[in-house]
């Protein structure tokens, strides 16, 4: 089935919505038409439980997908793009006062969003400093 997604969400955005954390109202407006990379969905399913959500992973996954959340597979091209992004961010961190760099999950979310040509919504301020090929729209 082809996704009708209007945005790509990272794990922090979906978790904020599930746990009704600051910014969840923004995510509520788009979650029913969002793509979530498979790597980010995995993080959502285990972290939600760790952070107090009572649904088992299978039930939470079914709930999210029944709302319209599209779980987007990670492709070989995404893997290469993510590695390039992560490597660049680590190199930049070595020569900057800002020592933050992209994680594996970050790189994969960005790569999937770029492939889908959809805006990326997340909660990481560091992403605003990374050059990516789609708009980054923080939700908080």
Q: Tens digit of pLDDT for each residue in 51-106?
A: 999 999 999 999 999 999 999 999 999 999 999 999 998 888 887 776 778 999 99
d(CA 35, CA 115): 12
| Position 111 confidence tier, pLDDT thresholds 50, 70, 90 | very high
Q: What is the CA radius of gyration of the chain?
A: 15
Does 103 map to a domain?
no
Residue pLDDT, tens place only, 12-29: 999 999 999 999 999 999
d(CA 119, CA 9): 9
| Position 115 confidence tier, pLDDT thresholds 50, 70, 90 | very high
Closest to 57 measured CA to CA, from 71, 74, 36, 42: 42
pLDDT for residue 1: 41
> Residue 61: helix, strand or coil by DSSP?
helix
pLDDT for residue 3: 61
Does 29 map to a domain?
yes
Does 140 map to a domain?
yes
**Residue span of the structural domain in which 27 resides:** 1-75+113-140
Instruction: Find residue 34's DSSP bridge partners.
Output: 7
* Domain harbouring 8, CATH code: 3.40.50.1010
Sign of the CA dihedral with 58 first, then 12, 21, and 67 last: negative
Q: How many structural domains is the chain composed of? A: 1
pTM of the model: 0.92
d(CA 82, CA 8): 15
Does 7 map to a domain?
yes
Does 81 map to a domain?
no
Look at the chain and count its residues.
140
pLDDT for residue 71: 98
Mean pLDDT along residues 30-51: 97
């Amino acid at each position: 089935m082809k996704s009708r997604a209007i945005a790509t969400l990272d794990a922090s955005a979906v978790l904020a919505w599930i746990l009704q954390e600051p910014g969840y109202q923004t995510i509520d407006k788009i979650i029913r038409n969002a793509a979530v990379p498979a790597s980010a969905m995995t993080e959502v399913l285990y972290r939600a439980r760790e952070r107090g959500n009572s649904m088992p992973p299978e039930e939470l996954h079914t709930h999210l997908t029944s709302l319209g959340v599209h779980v987007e597979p990670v492709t070989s091209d995404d893997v290469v793009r993510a590695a390039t992004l992560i490597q660049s961010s680590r190199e930049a961190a070595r020569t900057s006062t800002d020592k933050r760099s992209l994680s594996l999950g970050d790189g994969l979310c960005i790569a999937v969003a770029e492939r889908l040509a959809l805006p990326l919504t997340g909660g990481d301020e560091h992403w605003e400093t990374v050059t990516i090929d789609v708009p980054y729209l923080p939700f908080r």
